[in-house]
């Protein structure tokens, strides 16, 4: 459920600023403790909930405790191999991170216990607060907020999924990967999108370092997590799912600062609640919410997306492609028709497909098969490289594009029909092909993307995409997806350099 705030912007801003100042010590260090916990306590997990939280935390590499006062629940909890205590106070350990899943009437008590225990942070999975827009919900939210604020207790949420740390195995759900590190952080106003990003991203080779679903954000809000992730050495790219912000000025400042250090992708969801505004002037009547949001994102130097697929594609281009500020694409397709379409796709996204240098043309002339092929840029190369059947030629092609000064980045079609035919004859050929693509990605100084359209051979293409992504080759499912992702990544790097 969404939370709608109807207070004045001024009141929100004043509160947000006082809260930021209100937390003692270095907030980033305190968040680092919560996001990299050695000890985790789950409060209030129940059989009725399928022990969802204890199961999610099964992969936690540190010490996991359960706090559950209901005696009928304890046998089930202990059967999971988790030690249970009747209260937080009784846990014989410092607790870095608490996931609170109790019903709303008990939440305030647990938050108070967290304060007494001086835990690192507490995330309230509990819902039924201000997002219900009821008097009871609003009052309950006020209570937990006040207890946390008065006790200098880091409060995440309420109404959220809290923290996910892939390496340490602190999870939101049992479906999430755990045990190995990642490098992409996600900050989400929605629990669904936060979990989905980690799951769908994983299929595309994206590994999350940490994520946080931040719910109603009564104390800690998106800019706080953003500031923390900028300092987190594990995180290289930061992604956010945002529907609205309470303190736009603070958000802008955090975004600007973050984008100067690490790539930031902001996925905007929904439209803001339009304030009623008397229209006195041209200016006010032309300033609509989406136009302002778009301008703010451009000004902050972040990449802006509005759906999950494009968000994941942009992240792939940022994580797997070497940074470049040049827009010249070298395009390699397998047939004439595809060479036309791939060129359209990249040009539509504002990238260039320049002629190569004369030196490149002279070198290509020595081996390129121009019967049923051409090498203007785009290169119609099916007959020359046979989709890896003639690996020597593909290697030569890569080397020529590497040396060509007009080419800043290379995109190559991985054609299902070509590969399927070859693979039936010689299954080991795929290994060789993947190796060559991985070598190109590793050794080239220029960003390199592959496009493996599922076409009518979804299973083979999925295997190829997975293998290429596993070797760090940015692989996309369509020309336009690749072009859009490259254009966004290049735009980001250009902004970092102060170009445009």
Handedness of CA 129, 130, 132, 135 (dihedral sign): positive
Residue 244 touching another protein (CB under 8 A): yes
Residue 291 touching another protein (CB under 8 A): yes
Q: What is the three-class DSSP state of 411?
A: strand
Strand ranges of the sheet holding 329-333, from the earlier edge strand across to the other edge:
374-375, 379-380, 329-333, 409-413, 448-451, 474-476
Query: Closer CB to another protein, residue 282 or residue 424?
Result: 282
Candidate segments 108-116, 232-240, 292-300, 457-465, binder of another protein by CB under 8 A: 292-300
Q: What is the three-class DSSP state of 1?
A: coil
Candidate segments 47-55, 127-135, 285-293, 395-403, binder of another protein by CB under 8 A: 285-293
Candidate segments 21-29, 132-140, 293-301, 350-358, binder of another protein by CB under 8 A: 293-301
Which DSSP string do the residues of 434-477 spell out, in sequence order? HHHHHHHHHH-SS-EEEE---TT-HHHHHHHHHHHHHTT-EEES
Q: What is the three-class DSSP state of 120?
A: coil
DSSP annotation of 166 reads T
Residue 370 touching another protein (CB under 8 A): no
**Whole-Å CA distances, 24 to 14, 212, 219, 335:** 18, 21, 13, 63
Give the integer Cα–Cα distance in Å for 229 and 387.
41
Site string for another protein, 190-229 (x = CB under 8 A): ----------------------------------------
Query: Closer CB to another protein, residue 299 or residue 307?
Result: 299
Candidate segments 185-193, 275-283, 320-328, 471-479, binder of another protein by CB under 8 A: 275-283
Candidates 24, 72, 283, 425; binder of another protein (CB under 8 A) is: 283
Residue 340 touching another protein (CB under 8 A): no
Query: Closer CB to another protein, residue 252 or residue 438?
Result: 252
* 429-443 helix and 458-470 helix, angle to the nearest 10 degrees: 40
Residue 79 touching another protein (CB under 8 A): no
Candidate segments 27-35, 112-120, 194-202, 287-295, binder of another protein by CB under 8 A: 287-295
CB atoms near residue 365 (< 10 Å): 10
Query: Closer CB to another protein, residue 142 or residue 494?
Result: 494
Shortest separation between residue 296's beta carbon and another protein, angstroms: 5
Question: Which helix (DSSP H) or strand (DSSP E) does residue 7 occupy?
Answer: none
Give the integer Cα–Cα distance in Å for 145 and 121.
13
Residue 298 touching another protein (CB under 8 A): yes
Residue 245 touching another protein (CB under 8 A): yes
φ/ψ (deg, to 5) at 49: -90, 5
Residue 499 touching another protein (CB under 8 A): no
Shortest separation between residue 353's beta carbon and another protein, angstroms: 24
Give the integer Cα–Cα distance in Å for 210 and 215.
16
Residue 282 touching another protein (CB under 8 A): yes
Give the integer Cα–Cα distance in Å for 114 and 89.
9
Residue 271 touching another protein (CB under 8 A): no
Give the integer Cα–Cα distance in Å for 24 and 174.
34
For residue 215, give the nearest of 151, 300, 130 by alpha carbon: 130
Residue 292 touching another protein (CB under 8 A): yes
Candidates 1, 32, 138, 252; binder of another protein (CB under 8 A) is: 252
Candidates 49, 89, 203, 295; binder of another protein (CB under 8 A) is: 295
Q: Burial level of 63, CB count in 10 A (0-12/13-18/19+)?
A: middle
Shortest separation between residue 262's beta carbon and another protein, angstroms: 20
Residue 275 touching another protein (CB under 8 A): yes
Residue 17 touching another protein (CB under 8 A): no
Say if residues 192 and 160 touch (Cβ distance below 8 Å). no
Residue 9 touching another protein (CB under 8 A): yes
Candidates 280, 392, 427, 497; binder of another protein (CB under 8 A) is: 280
Residue 248 touching another protein (CB under 8 A): yes
Candidates 21, 25, 233, 281; binder of another protein (CB under 8 A) is: 281
Query: Closer CB to another protein, residue 148 or residue 242?
Result: 242
**Whole-Å CA distances, 399 to 252, 333, 439:** 43, 16, 12
| Residues near another protein, by CB under 8 A | 9-10, 244-245, 248-249, 252, 272, 275, 280-287, 289, 291-292, 295-296, 298-299, 498, 500
């Amino acid at each position: 459920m969404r939370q709608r705030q109807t207070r004045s912007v001024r009141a929100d801003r004043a509160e947000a600023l006082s809260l930021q100042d209100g937390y003692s010590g270095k907030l980033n260090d305190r968040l680092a403790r919560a996001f990299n916990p050695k000890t985790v306590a789950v409060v209030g997990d129940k059989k009725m909930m399928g022990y969802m939280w204890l199961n999610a935390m099964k992969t936690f590499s540190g010490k996991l405790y359960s706090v559950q006062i209901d005696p009928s629940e304890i046998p089930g909890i202990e059967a999971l191999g988790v030690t249970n205590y009747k209260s937080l106070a009784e846990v014989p350990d410092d607790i870095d991170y608490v996931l609170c899943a109790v019903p709303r009437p008990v939440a305030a008590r647990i938050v108070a216990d967290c304060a007494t225990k001086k835990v690192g942070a507490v995330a309230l999975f509990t819902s039924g607060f201000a997002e219900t827009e009821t008097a009871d919900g609003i009052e309950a939210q006020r209570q937990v907020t006040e207890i946390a604020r008065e006790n200098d207790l880091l409060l995440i949420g309420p109404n959220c999924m809290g923290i996910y740390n892939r390496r340490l195995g602190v999870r939101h759900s049992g479906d999430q990967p755990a045990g190995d590190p990642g490098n992409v952080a996600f900050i989400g106003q929605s629990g669904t999108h936060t979990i989905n990003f980690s799951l769908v991203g994983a299929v595309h080779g994206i590994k999350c370092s940490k994520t946080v679903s931040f719910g109603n954000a009564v104390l800690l809000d998106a800019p706080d997590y953003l500031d923390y992730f900028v300092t987190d050495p594990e995180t290289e790219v930061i992604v956010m799912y945002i529907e609205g912000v309470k303190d736009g000025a603070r958000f802008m400042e955090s975004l600007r600062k973050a984008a100067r250090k690490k790539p930031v992708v902001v996925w905007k969801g929904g439209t803001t609640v339009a304030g009623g505004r008397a229209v006195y002037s041209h200016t006010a009547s032309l300033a609509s919410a989406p136009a302002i949001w778009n301008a703010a994102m451009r000004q902050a130097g972040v990449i802006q997306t509005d759906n999950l697929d494009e968000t994941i594609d942009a992240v792939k281009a940022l994580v797997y492609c070497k940074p470049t500020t040049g827009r010249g694409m070298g395009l390699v397709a397998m047939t004439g028709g595809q060479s036309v379409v791939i060129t359209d796709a990249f040009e539509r996204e504002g990238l260039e497909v320049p002629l190569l240098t004369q030196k490149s043309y002279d070198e290509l002339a020595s081996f390129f098969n121009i019967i049923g092929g051409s090498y203007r840029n785009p290169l119609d190369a099916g007959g020359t490289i046979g989709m890896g059947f003639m690996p020597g030629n593909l290697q030569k092609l890569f080397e020529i594009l590497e040396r060509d000064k007009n080419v800043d980045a290379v995109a190559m079609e991985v054609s299902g029909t070509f590969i399927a035919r070859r693979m039936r004859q010689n299954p080991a050929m795929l290994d060789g092909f993947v190796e060559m693509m991985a070598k190109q990605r590793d050794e080239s100084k220029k960003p390199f993307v592959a496009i493996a359209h599922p076409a009518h051979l979804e299973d083979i293409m999925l295997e190829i995409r997975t293998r290429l992504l596993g070797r760090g080759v940015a692989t996309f499912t369509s020309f336009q997806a690749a072009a859009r992702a490259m254009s966004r990544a290049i735009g980001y790097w250009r902004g970092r350099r102060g170009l445009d």
